[in-house]
């Protein structure tokens, strides 16, 4: 009989917490909406994990916005490379949230994991 795999979690989340908080965790990756689960689901380790990942992604998006205003370098190099990277991170975060996994986003995932709200 095949063994049933549990979702990967590094945030010490219970199965019940994950199921109840998937939608809130997914909202975390939609720009400034990361504030909703960050402030509304303080008791959910799963929602808090993804809200902090969403915060890191949002900060990267703001930096990206300023960097693309730089003539030539920002327009041609940064806009394509970082823009595609942000889209990939957004998709990864959304898939992880909806899949019930707590996997940090590459390169930026550790930026805000120690903040307390």
Q: Indicate left, alpha or beta for 111 from its phi (over 0: left) and psi (-120 to 50: alpha).
A: alpha
pLDDT at 116: 78
pLDDT at 15: 87
Spatial separation of the C-alpha atoms in residues 29 and 26, rounded to whole Å: 6
Spatial separation of the C-alpha atoms in residues 25 and 10, rounded to whole Å: 15
Q: How many CB atoms lie within 10 A of CB 101?
A: 20
Q: How many CB atoms lie within 10 A of CB 72?
A: 8
Per-residue pLDDT of the chain (117 residues; tens, 9 = 90+): 455 444 455 677 888 999 999 999 999 999 999 999 999 999 999 999 999 999 999 999 999 999 888 887 777 777 888 899 999 999 999 999 999 999 999 999 888 877 777
pLDDT at 104: 94
């Amino acid at each position: 009989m095949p063994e049933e795999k549990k979702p990967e979690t590094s945030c010490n989340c219970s199965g019940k917490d994950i199921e109840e908080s998937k939608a809130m965790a997914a909202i975390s990756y939609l720009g400034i909406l990361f504030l909703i689960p960050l402030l509304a689901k303080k008791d959910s380790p799963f929602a808090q994990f993804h809200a902090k990942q969403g915060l890191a992604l949002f900060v990267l998006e703001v930096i990206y916005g300023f960097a693309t205003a730089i003539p030539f370098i920002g327009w041609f190099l940064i806009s394509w490379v970082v823009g595609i990277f942000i889209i990939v991170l957004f998709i990864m975060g959304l898939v992880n949230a909806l899949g019930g996994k707590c996997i940090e986003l590459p390169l930026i995932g550790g930026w805000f994991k120690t903040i307390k709200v």
